[in-house]
Amino acid sequence: MATHNQLGKFGEETAVNYLIKNGYQIQHRNWRYRKYEIDIIAIQNNQLVFIEVKTRTPNPDFSPEDSLTRSKQKQLIEGAHHYITQNGWQQEARIDVIKVFIANRKTQIEHIENAIIPTW
């Protein structure tokens, strides 16, 4: 497995552990439907939360936000909308981003709630 794939898996596992510790109920990991892929789908306080995980090692020329392009945001919104429709979800939903930074054998997590604001 390529190093970037291992890094991504580690980041997602770290994010899942963080979410569980903070009271989220994990519904799906790496949910896929056609061209859509959502890293984590969870429920917190009766709210459906779609989570994109970005994992990085130190690089002053590249931040996790750089890989969250308009196209990727659109895909997340469309995928979330499809999931909501497919599952008949009637309550609130949001899209979060969790950034996992790994440096000097230490892991830092930044959780941004409502990082992407869709117009459902």
Q: All domains of the chain, ordered by start, with CATH?
A: 3-116 (3.40.1350.10)
Q: Please give the structure tokens belonging to residue 111.
A: 């959780």
Q: Does residue 60 register a pLDDT over 60?
A: no
Q: DSSP string covering 70-89, please?
A: HHHHHHHHHHHHHHHHHHT-
State the burial class of residue 117 (Cβ atoms within 10 Å of its Cβ: 0-12, 13-18, 19+): exposed
6 — pLDDT class (breaks 50, 70, 90): confident
With a CB cutoff of 8 Å and minimum separation 6, the contacts of 14 are 55, 100, 107, 109
Separation between Cα atoms, residue 75 and residue 32, nearest integer Å: 12
Segment 92-114 mean pLDDT? 93
Percent of the chain past pLDDT 90, that is, above it, reads 68
pTM: 0.88
